[in-house]
Amino acid sequence: MTKLILRALAGETLPTPPVWMMRQAGRYLPEYRATRAQAGDFLSLCYNPELAAEVTLQPIRRYGFDAAILFADILLLPQALGPKLWFETGEGPRMETTTTPEQVAALRTSGAIHDTLSPIYETIRILRRELPEETTLIGFAGAPWTVATYMIAGRGSKDQGAAHALKAADRATFAALIDRITEATVEYLSAQIEAGAEVVKLFDSWAGSLKGADFTDFAVEPTRRIIAVLKVRHPETPVIAFPREAGAGYIGFAKATGADCVAIDNSVSPEWAAENVQPGGCVQGNLAPGHMVTGGQDLIDATRRVVDAFRGGPHIFNLGHGITPDADPANVQLMVDTVRGA
């Protein structure tokens, strides 16, 4: 029996959509908080294969999701390219900035990332041994634009202003940085697939701030390049692309990039996405994560609405963005029961 997620990704319309959740291993789960305390800080957890595998498995044990996503972070790859990375408690990531031609030239080569990232591949090997046979293992990386926004600003930002400013002031340096990240991402995802990842996902969390030609040049084009190489090396491995808040940019995104599935955020309605995006292939999404906090009949109604909207084509049920730390684990169970019983 082929795994449900792989069937949906191959284009099959299933009577009940497979289901998993972005950030399903995370702070809303008491068992995650306990393991994280045992590891010390967040990065130590990411680089500890036994504990990273443990937190990946926790939501599978609780909810029986159809997919597990490798526990890691999109900022590990830029860290492997050289810049220092740390997390300020209660604030988020901080990173040495990369903004000059010299700094871009000084980044490590794509082949040199594996020294740093080998624990991640070990996590994947452990997971392939320990996951139930019906559960699909998803590997991931940040898409180049989103990774570049953190490398340029040295931290998260609401409007990605520093990256837009560099793009305007020194397009050659900006484009060179995007190229370096693109090449390294190909090597990183290839190594994840070789270690056992069955699907890979590219998170372009800040794609929505790229407009017009910039969206084509820096959201579509790097994603297309990464997928083109992966499809030569690993034609059997499906790719999910998540150009978050792309709006009209979702239309035709799968065709333009070669992605097998496009993940949809909750700023667009499921009916709109079913009509405009799902004809292009499998879609994933798009329940608003806030329902995992508020629960109740609203959660049931909204979950059924997403299932019903996408019923006519291949669909993987997910949230429109990651679950938040204040979510109630009981609401997640209600969502899963509603999807499977709907």
The only residue of 17, 18, 36, 47 in contact with ligand 1CP, by rule CB under 6 A: 36
Minimal distance, residue 229 CB to ligand 1CP, in Å: 21
Interface with ligand 1CP includes 69 (CB under 6 A)?
A: yes
Q: Which stretch binds ligand 1CP (CB under 6 A): 67-75, 170-178, 252-260, 326-334?
A: 67-75
Annotated binding site for substrate: 23-27, 73, 150, 205, 321
CA distance 232 to 215: 25
If we measure between CA atoms, which residue out of 59, 67, 69, 57 comes closest to residue 7? 67
Annotated binding site: 23-27, 73, 150, 205, 321
A 10 A CB-CB count for 158 gives: 7
CA distance 71 to 138: 10
| Active-site entry in 28, 32, 47, 150 | 150
- Residue with smallest beta-carbon separation from ligand 1CP: 156
Minimal distance, residue 172 CB to ligand 1CP, in Å: 26
The only residue of 214, 322, 324, 342 in contact with ligand 1CP, by rule CB under 6 A: 322
Diameter of the chain by CA atoms?
57
Interface with ligand 1CP includes 272 (CB under 6 A)?
A: no
Minimal distance, residue 313 CB to ligand 1CP, in Å: 25
Q: Which stretch binds ligand 1CP (CB under 6 A): 24-32, 168-176, 188-196, 305-313?
A: 24-32
| Active-site entry in 28, 32, 36, 204 | 36
CA distance 278 to 291: 23
- Based on CB atoms, which residue is closest to ligand 1CP, 23 or 311? 23
Interface with ligand 1CP includes 71 (CB under 6 A)?
A: yes
Minimal distance, residue 296 CB to ligand 1CP, in Å: 24
Could you write out the DSSP letters of every residue in 198-262? Answer: SEEEEEETTGGG--THHHIIIIIHHHHHHHHHHHHH-TTS-EEEEETT-GGGGTTHHHHHT-SEE
CA distance 61 to 73: 22
Q: Which stretch binds ligand 1CP (CB under 6 A): 23-31, 95-103, 121-129, 293-301?
A: 23-31
Number of residues that bind ligand 1CP (CB under 6 A): 20
Interface with ligand 1CP includes 161 (CB under 6 A)?
A: no
How big is the CA angle at 91 (ends 86 and 94), to the nearest 5 degrees?
30
Residue 60 has which token pair?
Answer: 């599978």
Q: Is 23 a catalytic residue?
A: yes
* Buried-state track 277-313, b at ≥16 Cβ within 10 A, e below 16: bbebbbbbbbbbbbbbbebeeebbebbeebbebbeeb
Strands (E), 105-204: 136-142, 199-204
Residue 172 has which token pair?
Answer: 């050659």
Spatial contact of 109 and 40, defined as CB atoms under 8 Å apart: no
Q: Is 340 a catalytic residue?
A: no
Interface with ligand 1CP includes 94 (CB under 6 A)?
A: no
The only residue of 203, 218, 250, 317 in contact with ligand 1CP, by rule CB under 6 A: 203
Dihedral sign computed on CA atoms, order 13, 16, 18, 24? positive
Binding site for ligand 1CP (CB under 6 A): 22-27, 36, 42, 69, 71, 73-75, 92-93, 140, 156, 203, 205, 322
* Residues forming the active site: 23, 27, 36, 73, 150
